[in-house]
Chains A and B, each alone.
Chain A
Amino acid sequence: MASTAAVPFWRAAGMTYITYSNICANLVRNCLKEPFKAESMSREKVHFSLSKWADGKPQKPVLRSDAPQV
């Protein structure tokens, strides 16, 4: 009657389901044969800019991108 239900090992280590699922998907994508691997990598490219706000103004943005930096 303890509140420790059987949890999957990744949740016990502090990982969420979405992180687990994304890791699995990345591993599978890495093991693809050539034309499919390139397609999946281009499909999964991300590009975003993140800025924290202080005093109502955005601070310096952090750019996360898979595109080559110019």
Chain B
Amino acid sequence: MLRQASRLLSRSVTAASSKSATTRAFSTELPSTIDSTFVESWKKVAPNMDPPQTPSSFMKPRPSTASSIPTKLTVNFVLPYASELSGKEVDMVIIPATTGQMGVLPGHVPTITELKPGIMSVHEGTDIKKYFVSSGFAFLHANSVADIIAVEAVPLENIDASQVQKGLAEFTQKLASATTDLEKAEAQIGVEVHSAMNAALTG
């Protein structure tokens, strides 16, 4: 799959430099493309039937990107069993992306990122609320809406430090004694999650 990468990259670079007029517009800016010649020929053949609908006619247009950066970030933080934050306007969230702690401000570049086990903090004025997130994804949209989804997210006070230490010791030992790839992976996951919880409690 990636053998083609360098060819495709160089192709898109040259295309962009030579014919920038043909670069595609965002879907919010495209005019609604109903093919009028098709609709006319349809009406000639089947005047009593409505022309068929296309998938795009069922889609709601994407919310437009404001021309000036909004002052607040709208956060939707959901778990499989509960909606922790829904449309809450905040100043900043710091999310534990796999590439490191990422601070998200209003007007952040649209991003999709996978989350690693770690602390997510929601900053509203002087109020900071921290959750430990087990894993998940964060979708940052162009209109300063952040959708954060996690499988499990708990406030730090709900974590039992002694259990974390016990788990860390147990999984470190399992990692040392693991034989198959799968066992090693599971032990490694255990070590990572428990180290992250440890760091969250002590940091």
> Which residue on chain B has the smallest CB distance to residue A27?
B193
Q: Which of A19-46 contact B (CB under 8 A)?
A: 20-25, 27-34, 36-37, 40, 43
B interface SS class: helix
Task: Identify which of A23, A30, A37 contacts B189 (C-beta below 8 A).
Answer: A23
In the bound complex, do residue A33 and residue B181 qualify as a contact, i.e. CB atoms below 8 Å apart?
no
- Size category, A interface: 20 to 34
In the bound complex, do residue B117 and residue A20 qualify as a contact, i.e. CB atoms below 8 Å apart?
no
In the bound complex, do residue A3 and residue B185 qualify as a contact, i.e. CB atoms below 8 Å apart?
no
In the bound complex, do residue A15 and residue B182 qualify as a contact, i.e. CB atoms below 8 Å apart?
yes
A interface SS class: helix
B189 surroundings in chain A (CB, below 8 A): 10, 20, 23-24, 27
Nearest-CB distance from B177 to chain A (Å)? 16
In the bound complex, do residue A24 and residue B193 qualify as a contact, i.e. CB atoms below 8 Å apart?
yes
A-B contact count (CB 8 A): 87
Nearest-CB distance from A17 to chain B (Å)? 8
In the bound complex, do residue A25 and residue B158 qualify as a contact, i.e. CB atoms below 8 Å apart?
no
Q: Which of B156-203 contact A (CB under 8 A)?
A: 157-160, 163-164, 167, 181-182, 184-186, 188-190, 193-194, 197
In the bound complex, do residue B117 and residue A28 qualify as a contact, i.e. CB atoms below 8 Å apart?
yes
Which one of B12-20, B34-42, B67-75, B130-138 is at the A interface? B130-138
Interface centre among B157, B181, B188, B197 (most CB of A within 10 A): B181
In the bound complex, do residue A20 and residue B135 qualify as a contact, i.e. CB atoms below 8 Å apart?
yes
Seed contacts A23-B186, A27-B190, A30-B163; 12 additional CB < 8 Å A-B pairs: A14-B182, A20-B189, A21-B136, A24-B134, A25-B134, A27-B193, A28-B132, A28-B159, A31-B160, A32-B158, A33-B158, A36-B158
- Of the A-B pairs whose beta carbons lie under 8 Å apart in the complex, a sample of 14, sorted by A's number, is A1-B3, A1-B6, A3-B2, A3-B3, A10-B188, A10-B189, A12-B185, A15-B182, A21-B135, A28-B117, A28-B132, A29-B152, A31-B194, A33-B159
Q: Could you tell me which A residues sit within 8 Å of B by CB distance?
A: 1-3, 5, 9-10, 12-15, 20-25, 27-34, 36-37, 40, 43
